[in-house]
Structure 1
């Protein structure tokens, strides 16, 4: 196999920032025909695609790379998203990415990927724009956090990787997005962008609703080489290793060059360093030219840019090569052959066709939704709800929207930060295609009928204190917020925070909703708060109120949302969700440098210190930390944890393996196992999520602690279960910017068994 040239222009770097390569750079190292990448299980697909390409004319090749059919190859059908087959009838709308990540269940998200993949397959869709790995969540105010797997690159990569494996097992081509450094919606398309509300700490220039952006170009992301590799590129390692056959390049620029024509990020890093064998295709509006995008590494594009008058001319004047054109065509076919779509793949059907592919998936989606809900507060065992005779529910979020459920949900400048109605999905291209939607109002009504309690409701976020109905009659409801709360055994406030593709968040709280909670709690000594959100939603406006006895916190839960919430509220499901982002006490506690920016250039000066790593670095106490979540039972961790390590392998400083699918092969070698125990000390069965955090030697220049293992385990009362965290070489490596390689530092590693990023239970060390 050919090795990457150490002097290739693809590899040129400034010590800090990655360099945007030009179209004149040498890109031959990332051609599949170069032999740079050991293809392994993808070799047969390459052989089939290569054989077909040899039979095609230049015109036919241009047809394939612009989305057409040629030879005996039929154009791929492509569609969003990781929640559902977008816009289709008779499909399942699953919990959004944030919610699925909050399960911390790798088997569960694999199975979701496989079930969702079967629905794409049933509709005749070849390639799914899924999973969404980025935006990672650099900014607490980012609008698209609801559809991704969180700001920790390890958790993001593991959950996204398992989703990829599941979808691939269904025979559908997974295509990860958005590549790369695409961390806000505002100004992602320049002055023509939908923009969105600006987010920022109170008092900052970004704390109010945005005005028109002044830039005429998409924002330009600038990140140093170490940050790029250790935080933003890391999840894509998992996705490539797990089997993605596609990657969507983003709309933003990177170091001055559009992401879809950036030869360093697409050629050097994605295709050569990670060994990605598939198709790079642009986000909507992501392609801007012909020769430059083709030479940079984009493989699928518009005939407006790629035709005989552009690429065809390039073939004759030497600015484009036949080898690169063949590589583009082959990459368009790699996933098709890798996942045997040439053998009896279902025919494409239109979105409204009466083809029902759901099977038992709604029931599974309900279970995953319930599993994702995090219990944040539970004073005096207020939850689960039992033996209640009078129940009152509050908030727009308890009931359906005025229209729906399968309606377009666009996000742009001025869009409200809360949804008037039950929020079950994010906005934009990951919105749900809902055949129906269950809401808390619906399930509480059914429960009142079956269980015999008295149900009252206030389906509004506003507080009304003036009496407009009869009062003093004893049985007539006073038409005020207080009147609905009066004499209730339990009052439940339903809150949401909504956002999505097209706009960032203008606030992390909401004055109307928070006033509602405080008013209800002032008049009801057993007030429960249920939150569904698309990103961090602060709670300090009422969390310390003595009458707020319970808090449930979740992402968008999809079509079975109401049922999933009911399952946890009433104890059919013991909550086991864990936070995937930090909930601060104040907006100003988040890094102001990561606030949504209208600047043309966004400099990632915070480096690897985002979310809990930032809070740890500056010793900021969160309200609820990353990884946090309670249960209706209790758990105790063993005080002794053990580690078995392959010290001989770890003494080798740099990764030396051959480049294969997922990068250098030895990065994936198992080098250590950490073993611990967890005991259920309560009286009901529950699932816990023991977590492993690692502190690196100083030479590695890493955050104080970072997640390097997690395992979801169900434990019966009084039982003890053993958990084992498996560490790969890459989990104990850092990116050496001088050597341009992954390295293992010498010194002491400390391994912490933990219940969250701030709750360490036991530790052990390893010295190299």
Structure 2
């Protein structure tokens, strides 16, 4: 017992304890060369029920890791630790490499590089003592407003699958188990944890759009574990959904690793265990004593428990962890120079040049450059809001500093408008009276009443004062201002959770919902000298508390300095961003905080304006016709400065391609109706069915702002000489690609399949791609292979994939809307 307590204590202090060779005498499966299944069965036979139960749920005390399963020394089962990714070692542990966000990795369209990305994460997770890396996320980007789009790859299941396979192979090559997430149909943050986040989706849509990338992770990459998601799928919680966890995962894909619940995602004992869940995280609320009782009552069989435990033990044996458990120190440095080089390479290849009118990019040495926007220096965006962020290493070079070092000429920096409005003077303003209430609905007698000169706070604990709870409170502030000028006054509130603003009883801002920090702006016509009543309402549901109120009077310009700098420069570079967060969905896809107005003002002053976007998915661009160049940088990680300078000055030619479609407006997106996103009446309707991403725009005849697969270069390419092999799958497609420009660069050759109309498929679907690097004037013949799945659809009557006979069109090009080469293949019955 003392040894067990010691092991647990050491594990809780973040060191995984190895099983000593002496234990092998009592544990013949340690060091054995017998088949894995034989060893698994031997351990199961030796274990008590209590020991088996200890393997299927986490325990308290895992910090700083996400989760922990303690060792069972009597049967030599090692302890193991689970920890967050997906763009490196999460949880803000020190001494790690901050890789670009996964959406950027997908934008490289470079599977070899993404494997290196996984190798970096695997090596650093191992150095930190981690057994299971909670990565990658391979959920489809269904809507650009989804809060975790930056954390996954693409709107296309084939591209997502290729990226996920490469990443998993990289992680697991370092001896760390990869946990692919989140199974399944997890495409929004709204109402998560709740049955109202219930994806109502057809079997065919699931199998063709939302599951293929998981299948590739299991069948091809041999992912060791799977994380089930928070949502409900067709009325059943994903972590007890037998269709997903048993019929599809175990029977259809033959998965034999373990399924872990997302943290807090387990909602039952009997239904979850019998439905296919193997491990509850982070504790044992349902799979501890409650599961023991269910076993005793016969509600869960001992055979099912044995399977659950066997599913956990199997990958431990395969990775040799009984003999060589992973050891490490969460505080020890894990980053290496070669890891930083991969981070920089991914940042370079992830950037997508969307527009470059007049070849304003690359910049030239000696130009006078105006750098505008806080994202260039003051508020550098590296990861974009990961729920368990990878720490930004000290000494990161900002884009501004890197541009200054590279430019060789005059560089002027203007931060641009602040995140929210300042509070301008009024003729009379004596502050506001704040009243704080228990609960989130401003009800009951106030717990606290006080005078506040401003409403401007950021309380990490969430607690504003003694006597007010740290979570689950609300407040209102009331007072009077007397404006100095007549005309439109602009008010702004930045808040997390819910906020509202009333001026003389008129609701000017309504942001009354759970959310990440968001800025909302409203305008009211006021008269000089005439007092108006102001009321601000706020509720805080959990976590920290943040709120800021400001207003501007008519005639105030937030852009004068930026406009002046742009006029005086040869070229203006504006950094703009839209940050998203785990746990929250966006309310729109417009750039926040007046950034669209800023870009328009700068472009009017200097048409040689370059916009650098740092976003997790698509945004609208009302100014796109006025600027010369647009570079989508995503969230580039620790190499943000070096990469931006390298790309802007042409040391590197952009080669990224969009992994998601950029629409002209939110009205164009597939899930534009409330019933589809974020849902209504307790359902999220997936009735766009197969019309996801570019499939939707093609099917509906909608012109996107920038299509899926689009991306320019500082050189040019030509495609010719398409050949398509005859006969049955696999089909071989070749084309010659030539660098027709004056500098080296990379192009991505993309092949799309159009099915016979009787199949009922979208007009075109990506089925193969290859990235090729070429010197000026160089040509290469690219060879792509289309397997039988490329010509198959899901047959719901047979619950199986069915090859579609007939004439299929093969279109080859450099985006979903730029496909100059056409060929055909007839698939026999």
Matches within 5 A, 1:286-301: 286-301=265-280
Q: Does 1:338 align with 2:318?
A: yes
Structure 1 residue 47: deviation in Å? 3.2
**For each residue in 1:357-385, what CA deviation from the matched residue of structure 2 results, as whole angstroms up to 9, or x when unmatched?**
43421122011101111111112211110
Mark the CA change 1:755 to 1:43 in structure 2 (over 3 Å): closer, same or farther: farther
Aligned-pair CA distance for 1:48: 2.7
Does the CA contact (< 8 Å) of 1:462 and 1:513 recur in 2? Answer: no
Q: 1:728 aligns with which of 774, 777, 787?
A: 787
8 Å CA contact 1:697–1:747 kept in 2: the answer is: yes
Task: Give the superposition deviation at 1:599.
Answer: 4.1
8 Å contact from structure 1 (residues 119, 358) kept in 2: no
Instruction: Provide, for residues 199-251 of structure 1, a one-character-per-residue CA deviation record: whole Å limited to 9, x for no partner.
Output: xxxxxxxxxxxxxxxxxx44111100100100001110111021111111111
1:124 corresponds in structure 2 to 129
Which residue of the other structure, out of 278, 282, 286, is the alignment partner of 1:305?
286
For residues 8-51 of structure 1, the C-alpha deviation after alignment (integer angstroms, 9 at most, x for no partner) is xxxxxxxxxxxxxxxxxxxxxxxxxxxxxxxxxx9944333222
2:141 is aligned to 137
Q: 1:63 to 1:462 in 2, by over 3 A?
A: closer
Deviations 1:272-294 (A, max 9, x none): 11111111111122111212111
Deviations 1:107-135 (A, max 9, x none): 0101111121111111110101100011x
Unaligned runs of 5+ in 1: 1-41, 191-216, 401-420, 465-477, 651-670
Q: Does the CA-based 8 Å contact 1:64-1:75 persist in structure 2?
A: no
Q: Does 1:435 align with 2:439?
A: no
Counterpart CA distance in 2 for 1:314 and 1:266 is 20
Tell me if structure 2 keeps the 8 A contact 1:186–1:598: no
Instruction: Determine if the alignment matches structure 1 residue 362 to structure 2 residue 344.
Output: no
Could you tell me which of 599, 603, 618 is aligned with 1:521?
603
Alignment of 1:681 with 2:740, yes or no, is yes
Shift of 1:597: 3.1
Q: CA RMSD in A?
A: 2.0
Aligned equivalents of 1:356 and 1:165: distance in 2? Answer: 20
CA shift at 1:355, angstroms? 3.0
8 Å Cα contact 2:382/2:392 also seen in 1: no
Mapped partners of 1:313, 1:247: distance in 2: 26
Asked if 1 retains the 8 angstrom alpha-carbon contact of 2:725 and 2:825, the reply is no
From the superposition, tell whether residues 138 and 43 of structure 1 become closer, same or farther in structure 2 (CA, over 3 Å). Answer: farther
CA contact (8 A) 2:572 2:606 kept: yes
Rounded Cα–Cα distance in structure 2 between residues aligned with 1:645 and 1:105:
28
Q: Which of 96, 102, 117 is the matching residue for 1:97?
A: 102
Determine helix, strand or coil for the equivalent of 2:95.
coil
- Which residue of the other structure, out of 583, 586, 603, is the alignment partner of 2:662? 583
- Which protein shows a greater Rg? 2
Structure 1 counterpart of 2:384: 426
Q: 2:227 is matched with which residue?
A: 248
SS of 1:742 mapped into structure 2: strand
Determine the C-alpha separation between the residues in 2 that align with 1:146 and 1:562. 19
Partner SS, residue 602 of structure 2: helix
Residue-by-residue CA offset, 1:456-480 (whole Å, 9 max, x unaligned)? 111123699xxxxxxxxxxxxx972
Q: 1:541-596 deviations in whole A, cap 9, x for unaligned? A: 11111xx2111112111111121111100111110000011111222111323433
Cα distance change, pair 617–497 in 1 and its aligned pair in 2 (3 A)? same
Counterpart in the other structure of 2:762: 703
Which residue of the other structure, out of 685, 690, 694, is the alignment partner of 1:612? 694
Q: Does the Cα contact within 8 Å between 1:673 and 1:725 map onto a contact in 2?
A: yes
Whole-angstrom distance in 2 between the partners of 1:256 and 1:176: 23
Length-normalised TM-score, structure 1: 0.80
Secondary structure of the corresponding residue to residue 211 of structure 2: helix
Look up the SS of the partner of 1:110 in the other structure. helix
Tell me how far apart the structure 1 counterparts of residues 350 and 144 of structure 2 sit (CA, whole Å).
20
Deviation at 1:163, TM superposition (A): 0.7
* Structure 1 CA distance for aligned equivalents of residues 35 and 639 of structure 2: 41
Conservation of the 8 A alpha-carbon contact between 2:406 and 2:645: no
Question: Do residues 554 (structure 1) and 633 (structure 2) align?
Answer: yes
Relative to 1, partners in 2 of residues 1:106 and 1:463: Cα closer, same or farther, differing over 3 Å?
closer
Q: 1:430 Cα shift? A: 4.6
Pairwise CA distance, 1:643: 2.1
SS at match of 1:327: helix
Higher relative contact order (CA 8 A, sep 6+): 1
Q: Alpha-carbon deviation of 1:159?
A: 0.8
> Counterparts of 1:230-245 in structure 2 under 5 Å?
230-241=208-219, 242-245=221-224
1:318 aligns with 2:298: yes
Instruction: Specify whether residues 316 and 587 from structure 1 end up closer, same or farther in structure 2 by C-alpha distance, changes over 3 A only.
Output: closer
Residue 642 of structure 2 aligns to a residue in which SS?
A: helix
Name 1:746's counterpart in structure 2.
805
Whether the 8 Å CA contact 1:462–1:516 is kept in 2: the answer is no
Following superposition, the deviation at residue 392 of structure 1 comes to 0.8
Deviation at 1:699, TM superposition (A): 3.0
Partner of 2:82: 78
Question: Out of 750, 754, 758, which is 1:691 matched to?
Answer: 750
Q: Give the deviation of 1:324 after TM superposition.
A: 1.1
Determine the C-alpha separation between the residues in 2 that align with 1:428 and 1:520. 31
Q: Is the 8 A contact 1:124 1:345 kept in 2?
A: no
The 5-angstrom pairing of residues 126-165 of structure 1 reads 126-134=131-139, 136-165=140-169
Cα 1:255–1:389 shift into 2, 3 Å: closer
Distance in 2, matches of 1:389 and 1:316, equals 78
Q: 2:326, 2:790 → 1: CA distance?
A: 40
Match of 2:544 in 1: none
Query: 1:342 & 1:426 partners in 2: Cα distance?
Result: 38
Tell me the equivalent position of 2:255.
276
Q: What residue number does 1:564 align with? A: 643
Aligned residues between the structures:
636
Other structure's SS at 2:568 match? coil
Q: Which residue of 2 aligns with 1:56?
A: 47
Q: Which residue of 534, 547, 563 maps to 2:616?
A: 534
Taking the aligned partners of 1:688 and 1:124, their CA distance within structure 2 comes to: 39
How far is the alpha carbon of 1:447 from its aligned partner? 3.0
What TM-score comes out, normalization by structure 2 length? Answer: 0.74
**Aligned residue for 2:71?**
69
Please identify, of 158-167 and 725-734, the stretch whose mean Cα deviation from structure 2 is larger: 725-734
Give secondary structure in 1 for the equivalent of 2:54: helix
Q: Larger % of strand: which?
A: 2
Structure 2: distance between partners of 1:690 and 1:697:
23
Give, in angstroms, the shift of residue 598 of structure 1.
5.2
Q: 1:69 to 1:131 in 2, by over 3 A?
A: same
Cα contact 2:795–2:801 (8 A) shared by 1:
yes
Other-structure match for 2:406: 447
- Contact 2:200/2:684 (<8 A) preserved: yes
In structure 2, what is the Cα distance between the partners aligned to 1:741 and 1:589?
Answer: 33
8 A Cα contact 2:610 2:628, kept in partner: yes
CA deviations over 1:514-545 (Å, ceiling 9, x no partner): 11111111112311111010111111x11111
Assess if the C-alpha contact under 8 Å between 2:678 and 2:684 holds in 1: no
